Amino acid sequence: MNAVTTTPQAHGGPESTAVVSSAARARKRLSSPGASTAAIIIAVLWTLPTFGLLLSSFRPEDDIKGNGWWNWFTDPELTFESYREVLFGSQTELSTYVVNSIAITVPSVVIPVTLALLAAYAFAWMRFPFRDSLFVAMFALQIVPIQIALVPLLQIFVDVGLNGTFWPLWIAHSTFALPLAIYLLHNFMRDVPAELVEAARVDGAGHVKIFGTIMLPLIMPAIAAFCVFQFLWVWNDLLVALTFAGSTSDVAPLTARIAELVGTRGTEWHLLSAGAFVSMVIPVIVFLGLQRFFVRGLLAGSVKG
């Protein structure tokens, strides 16, 4: 009878065993009672201010101005008056600014992602003169502070007659986002195996075919991850909005109106908590909808197999 022998290679070798044991030790430390307790404490401390803000948004105006949110537990009283005033009141009308924010944010995400995908593919898989130099110069644009470019851009928009429209906001947000978007998407495209591209070229596929059928499906998690980042950045932006839109109700986003809720003499600050939660609804929906792709995009490339 032939004896069956097992070798270290059959079980992955000593290196594989060491990796498994290290992973087991790390898992044991992370699942220990001490780590669980620390995680719970951090979660509570992180959530407590948000809970207080939520509770304040449902309290009457006199209670908000008279005492802290923790006093609600001794005198519980809830009302939707703040939300009614914020959404439909004649002085606030946040619903109009919510529409403005959507009109600003969606193109400000679609435009840079579209342009960055084309540029990233060119830098990653096409050969042309000064390709590496141009890529380094493009990446160096991230060093330029946004504040330096705001006034020159505003002057240009005023000169060409675009002031008071959505175009300055779309162009500004897209311009500021392009360097990072091209850099990130380029790195993901470079991780695509060259054999796939070469096989497609052998079958007669051109750059358009390769870009549409190979690159886009493979880097979809990276695209979703950047879209989430860009959406949150544009939606919560106040500096660019104040510079190019001001407080005009035709183009001003939600953040600009919330900043004005305090009023010239601080008479409407009790509406800030309700306005803050109104502004949070759409970003939360977007994040939850793209969460699966977002996590995959963050973890892509971290495991090699």
Please indicate, yes or no, if residue 227 is contained in any of the structural domains.
Answer: yes
DSSP 212: I
Please indicate, yes or no, if residue 283 is contained in any of the structural domains.
Answer: yes
Shared domain for 105 and 185, answered yes or no, is yes
Tokens of 225: 């991850």
pLDDT class for 6, splitting at 50, 70, 90?
A: very low
Shared domain for 107 and 225, answered yes or no, is yes
Check pLDDT > 70 for residue 5: no
What CATH number corresponds to the domain at position 136? 1.10.3720.10
The last residue of a domain, from among 50, 79, 108: 79
> How many residues comprise the chain?
305
Check pLDDT > 90 for residue 105: yes
| Predicted TM-score of the model (pTM) | 0.76
Q: Which pLDDT belongs to residue 295?
A: 63
| Domain extent for 242 | 94-299
pLDDT tens for each residue of 21-46: 665 666 666 567 777 888 889 988 88
Total count of domains within the chain: 2
How far is the C-alpha of 165 from the C-alpha of 251, rounded, in Å? 6
Q: Which pLDDT belongs to residue 102?
A: 92
The 3-state DSSP composition of the chain as helix, strand, coil percent (nearest 5) reads 75, 0, 25
Shared domain for 74 and 112, answered yes or no, is no
pLDDT tens for each residue of 65-99: 888 888 888 878 888 888 888 877 766 677 788 88
* Backbone dihedral angles phi then psi of residue 144, each to the nearest 5 degrees: -65, 120
How far is the C-alpha of 208 from the C-alpha of 129, rounded, in Å? 20
Alpha-carbon torsion (134, 135, 140, 146), positive or negative = positive
Label residue 250 exposed, middle or buried (CB < 10 Å: 0-12, 13-18, 19+).
exposed
Residue type for 215, please? M
Shared domain for 131 and 162, answered yes or no, is yes
Shared domain for 201 and 252, answered yes or no, is yes
The last residue of a domain, from among 21, 50, 79: 79
Please indicate, yes or no, if residue 109 is contained in any of the structural domains.
Answer: yes
The last residue of a domain, from among 21, 47, 79: 79
Q: Which pLDDT belongs to residue 111?
A: 95
Shared domain for 66 and 194, answered yes or no, is no
Shared domain for 59 and 134, answered yes or no, is no
